[in-house]
Amino acid sequence: MPKEEKLKVAVVGGGAAGLLAAVIARREGAEVRILERNQRVGKKILTTGNGRCNLTNTDLHLSHYHGQNPKFAYSALQAFDNHRAIDFFEELGITHKVEEEGKIFPFSNQASSVLDVLRYEVEHLGIETMLEAEVKEICKVSQGFELAAKDGKKYFAHRVILAAGGKAAPNLGTNGSGYALAEKLGHRLVEPFPALVQLKLESPFLKQIKGIKFDGGAQVLVKGKTLAKAQGEILFTEYGISGPPIFQLSRTAAEKLRMQNAVWLKVVLLPVWSREKLEQYLSKRWEEAPEKSVHFSFVGFINKQLVPVLLKQSGIEDINKPVAALTAREKAGILNLLQDWRFQVIGTNSWTAAQVTAGGLDVRDINPRTMESLLVPGLYFAGEILDIDGDCGGYNLQWAWSSGYVAGKSAADG
């Protein structure tokens, strides 16, 4: 490339990672063009954090990240950590605040404000944005790459950053098309599957308890061993179970199901009660009103809609008999279910319901310090397209910022 010719960087995908990469590459002096297949950039940003945009988290320990090699994320997370992410957005005008579990949000509580300042910066820096420009092929040519779009247009770039996202939330424009682009260039794919998603359960009475919410605990078990656990607001649904703790556990459950394991979900309806304390409380409650029916004895303590199912599952045939007639075995059955209710997991909801993609491009083919392909010099990657995904709580957006920063800087400096 002649010295007088400005370095051209094409960013395929205008999501969180692509926008960050474009801004950094432009700040480093490159001429940058974003190719976005949707009618606007950053659509998925608007849905993050329930529309509030959970920017990052105060705890960036690597244990919050997953994939076949989670350590791959270390270099990028160090290069552009949560503090640098906060500073970056503060400079753009986003005042931040820290909430429970270290979650960091814009003070405005609006994801749209995060997208607004990113779009402003893109325009301010003179970054060309091509909308409805779906890239169908990336070809390595002399001095760089030729990108062919679906509409027949072709673009040249010295360097390419592939930030086309995964397969989660296809309604927001992510359809996994970036995988095929990379595979044609020799990259390997770790088969993607939905993560941060609801779980489907095998149970005959889900319709009876759908809509019930409670603050409880849940654990994923395989062969009786607990592999992951979480606590918080849980929701029974017609197909199974949902809520933040379930989203947190869904990756582990889905991964084990894909390995042909029998996966069980242990639900703890009353996690703040020890078994001893619960036993003492129920004994006292029953002793004070022995004439009440077993069913009615729970009114005011447990959701009324849940009681008949819970009692039937604990082995009580006549739920209307007086509590004085309860046997020791029946009492133990009730206690067991309140503390350890097992459901077989039979799957997850679809890509449409998933917040993030697990799996993606095999990171063995990528330099973790630069995000550059080890197979195709000048090709870089960022964001969800890679086999790295994070827990709920701002970790996936932080990965987008971190990998986007490294890819943008490396593409412009390299």
Domain holding 101, by residue range, is 8-193+358-413
Mean pLDDT of 215-239: 97
In a domain, 2, yes or no: no
Q: Looking at the structure, tell me whether residues 342 and 362 fall in a common domain.
A: no
The pLDDT, as a whole number, for residue 1 is 53
Q: Which of 326, 348, 370 is the last residue of a domain?
A: 348
Q: Looking at the structure, tell me whether residues 93 and 212 fall in a common domain.
A: no
> How many domains does the chain divide into?
2
Mean pLDDT of 15-39: 97
The whole model's pTM is what?
A: 0.93
In a domain, 353, yes or no: no
Q: Looking at the structure, tell me whether residues 206 and 240 fall in a common domain.
A: yes
HEC string of the chain equals: CCCCCCCEEEEECCCHHHHHHHHHHHHCCCEEEEECCCCCCCCHHHHHHHHCCCCEECCCCHHHEECCCHHHHHHHHHHCCHHHHHHHHHHHCCCEEECHHHEEEECCCCHHHHHHHHHHHHHHCCCEEECCCCEEEEEEECCEEEEEECCCCEEEECEEEECCCCCCCHHHCCCCHHHHHHHHCCCCEEEEEEECCCEEEECCCHHHHCCCEEEEEEEEEECCEEEEEEEEEEEECCCEEECHHHHHHHHHHHHHHHCCCCEEEEEECCCCCCHHHHHHHHHHHHHHCCCCECCHHHECCECCCCHHHHHHHCCCCCCCCEHHHCCHHHHHHHHHHHHCEEEEEEEECCCCCCCEEEEEECHHHECCCCCEECCCCCEEECHHHECCEECCCCHHHHHHHHHHHHHHHHHHHC
pLDDT tens track for 325-381 = 999 999 999 999 999 999 999 999 999 999 999 999 999 999 999 999 999 999 999
The pLDDT, as a whole number, for residue 6 is 85
The pLDDT, as a whole number, for residue 406 is 98
In a domain, 264, yes or no: yes
Q: Looking at the structure, tell me whether residues 321 and 396 fall in a common domain.
A: no
In a domain, 1, yes or no: no
CATH code of residue 80: 3.50.50.60
User: pLDDT band at residue 94, thresholds of 50, 70 and 90?
Assistant: very high
pLDDT tens track for 272-295 = 999 999 999 999 999 999 999 999
Q: Looking at the structure, tell me whether residues 314 and 228 fall in a common domain.
A: yes
